[in-house]
A and B are shown apart, each in its own frame.
Chain A
């Protein structure tokens, strides 16, 4: 079992819709959770982190964490074509683990 699992996609949503990206992790001792966005040919960019159960909102992005279910998600509201990218979930316990990423395409 991988430490961090993501659905590789591709996930396609129409412009203006909500995109939902999901991630599960195996280490119950994990402390902090991150979402990165990576455009093709570029390096990953940190867009949000969360470490408490519940929701954390930042603009159009909402991260959700459920430690009991070992599940973290990212919602993107009012999706834009510029949101088309690969989204990486990362988890930190005593070391970092990255998921393989979910490819998102927002269709104009």
Chain B
């Protein structure tokens, strides 16, 4: 399968600071990437769809000014959590979607964010 990397894998930050998470598609170009968050023992929750060269599409209830997404190239999308609060602590996972049928998604290994 395809390889998607995420960096960092773990990050601890203080309340009020910003954290940037990078998602890279290593062996295919991805016009579309997705950002999810997952709380312990809960389902994946789609936060936003990241489109190369255009604005991200956010799911209902996700603050676009708090979770800034940039998809500057066909292999890189970034998620910046601004003014982080302890309730933002979660497992953030990105995925990249193949543009050819059957359009499968490949997930990055995830980033565990802890806000103190």
Contact = CB atoms under 8 A, between A and B. Distances in A.
Interface of A: 31-32, 34, 36, 41-46, 49, 51, 88, 90, 92, 96, 98, 100-101
Given A43-B109, A49-B104, A98-B44, 5 more contacts: A32-B101, A34-B104, A36-B107, A43-B108, A44-B44
Nearest to A33: B102
Interface residues of B, number: 18
A57 to B, nearest CB: 17
Nearest to A96: B105
Contact of A98 (B43, B108, B109): B43
A90 B101 CA distance: 15
Nearest to A50: B102
Interface string B55-86: 00000000000000000000000000000000
Contact of B104 (A32, A88, A98, A100): A32
B28 interface: no
A82 to B, nearest CB: 18
Interface of B: 1, 34, 43-44, 46, 91, 93, 97, 101-110
Nearest to A44: B107
Most B C-beta atoms less than 10 A away, residue of A42, A43, A45, A101: A43
Nearest to B34: A96
Which 10 residue pairs spanning A and B have beta carbons closest together?
Answer: A32-B102, A43-B110, A43-B107, A100-B43, A43-B93, A44-B107, A92-B103, A51-B102, A49-B102, A43-B109
Given A43-B93, A98-B43, A90 B105 contact: yes
Contacts of A51: 101-102
Most A C-beta atoms less than 10 A away, residue of B91, B97, B101, B104: B104
Contacts of A32: 101-104
Nearest to B57: A95
B107 A45 contact: yes
Given A88-B44, A100-B43, A46 B102 contact: no
Contacts of A42: 109-110
